[in-house]
Structure 1
Amino acid sequence: MRDRRRSADRSVSPEDEISPGGSRPLGEDPEARARALCLRMLTHSPRTRAQLERALLRREFSEETVASVLGAFGDAGLIDDAAFANAWVTSRHHGRGLSRRALARELRTRGVEEDTVRDAVAHLSDEDEVEAARDLARRRLDMSRGKDPDTRIRRALGVLARKGYSSGLAYRVVREELEREGAEVEWDDPEL
């Protein structure tokens, strides 16, 4: 037990870490430390160029080092914002039911360029979006069977709003799903 405590108290400084080739400590070469950090981050999960850049700058690597490392990673195909965006859109739309608008917002916060965002969300058709909204509405309405109709509507509309769907689409699919159930519901707005 005493040995475990002693080893836990010892800290390893960055200068003590050895480079992947084993030739010299990482502490001497900022580019090697930056590469190692990027590789660890990319091993954990896919990242955008902007996310890696922010992480390196936050750790006070020079802009030259950041540009050099990210350029090399981009040339090697380890950083590809377009592939990241396409995979993100596919995964989050099918897995979480997010709308194109919500997906675009998420990609922008991850630093993906606007053209790449537009291209990625353009892969989702209007029919894909309507079907995802319908599926979300159906699941929420199924979960609230037996409750007051206004509560059911409010909850279904709420989940669709949180997923980024427009109010017009949300009202339409909730109304259609309630009609499919055979529920008699009075809507406040006669156009809906």
Structure 2
Amino acid sequence: MSQGVPDFLPEDAHVSPATWGDLREEGRADARTPTTRSDRRGDAPSRGTRGRDPARPRRRGRAEDPPTEGAAAVDAEPDHEDVARQIVLRQLAMAPRSRAQLETKLRQRDCPEDVITRVLDRMTEVGLVDDEAYAAMLVRSQQVTKGLAKRALAHELRKKGIDKDLADAALDEVDPDQERRTARELVDKKLRSMGGLTVEVQTRRLAGMLARKGYGAGTAYSVIRDAIADAPEHLRD
């Protein structure tokens, strides 16, 4: 290299001697300046964009596959009759139901009327829906658990949508003697909590209780009179 020419210039470089000093100082300064990591790698693409056209939008996730035959089947309209059958079976699994109650439930679930008719007709054929058996069961259970008389039982059957002929047949099975015994049991139980009241007050409250359970006035006052007469607090010494 030519004498006096800085070692970072080629030998044939034509540089005036006046500028050599400045060039030497600039070269030394550059050598002393530390290079950063980004300086060393320059404008290399980042890890996430290496080898990718920056103008091309990033692909997010897999492209949706075209619908298959199975997927189309999933989106198909449900079988209304199967849906109605499942609703009926769930209702019957919880408690006995009349046909009218099941019809109401299916309408609430927006089942078509023709579907309701077909499904319940089929359920009736196989014995899962039986209003006659339901009416008889309801009469027996309400007599035992609530002590209801025929008038109140008839009201319960109407509420459940039982046909009048079927309701009458179920009510014909009510034994008048058993009905009177049930009324007496109700009165005796109530009297035990009415000690100290006058006969008039006891009679009025007991009559109201029996009336709410469907007993006629004749039966009610006859039973009440006998029960009060037999009560220990009213027995004469």
Query: Could you tell me the TM-score, scaled by structure 2's length?
Result: 0.64
Measure, in 1, the Cα distance between the counterparts of 2:215 and 2:191.
16
**Greater share of helix residues, 1 or 2?**
1
2:220: which partner in 1? 170
Measure, in 2, the Cα distance between the counterparts of 1:26 and 1:97.
52
Measure, in 2, the Cα distance between the counterparts of 1:88 and 1:26.
42
Higher relative contact order (CA 8 A, sep 6+): 1
Q: Gapped runs of 5+ residues in structure 1?
A: 1-22, 186-192
Change (3 A) 1:151 1:63: same
Q: Which amino acid aligns with 2:160?
A: R
Measure, in 2, the Cα distance between the counterparts of 1:26 and 1:124.
52
Measure, in 2, the Cα distance between the counterparts of 1:68 and 1:102.
33
Q: 2:197 aligns with which of 144, 147, 152?
A: 147
Distance apart, 1:40 and its partner CA? 0.8
User: Does 2:105 match 1:55?
Assistant: yes
Measure, in 1, the Cα distance between the counterparts of 2:100 and 2:145.
24
Measure, in 2, the Cα distance between the counterparts of 1:25 and 1:32.
16
Tell me the alpha carbon deviations over residues 131-150 of structure 1, each in whole angstroms, 9 at most, x when there is no partner: 11111111111221222332
Distance apart, 1:27 and its partner CA? 5.7
Q: Gapped runs of 5+ residues in structure 2?
A: 1-72
1:106: which partner in 2? 156
How big is the alpha-carbon RMSD for the aligned residues of Structure 1 and Structure 2? 2.0
List aligned pairs for 1:37-186, cutoff 5 A. 37-181=87-231
Change (3 A) 1:147 1:96: same
List aligned pairs for 1:19-34, cutoff 5 A. 28-34=78-84
List aligned pairs for 1:2-17, cutoff 5 A. none
Measure, in 2, the Cα distance between the counterparts of 1:115 and 1:132.
25
Measure, in 1, the Cα distance between the counterparts of 2:138 and 2:216.
21
Greater radius of gyration (CA): 2
Measure, in 1, the Cα distance between the counterparts of 2:190 and 2:125.
46
Query: Could you tell me the TM-score, scaled by structure 1's length?
Result: 0.79
2:18: which partner in 1? none
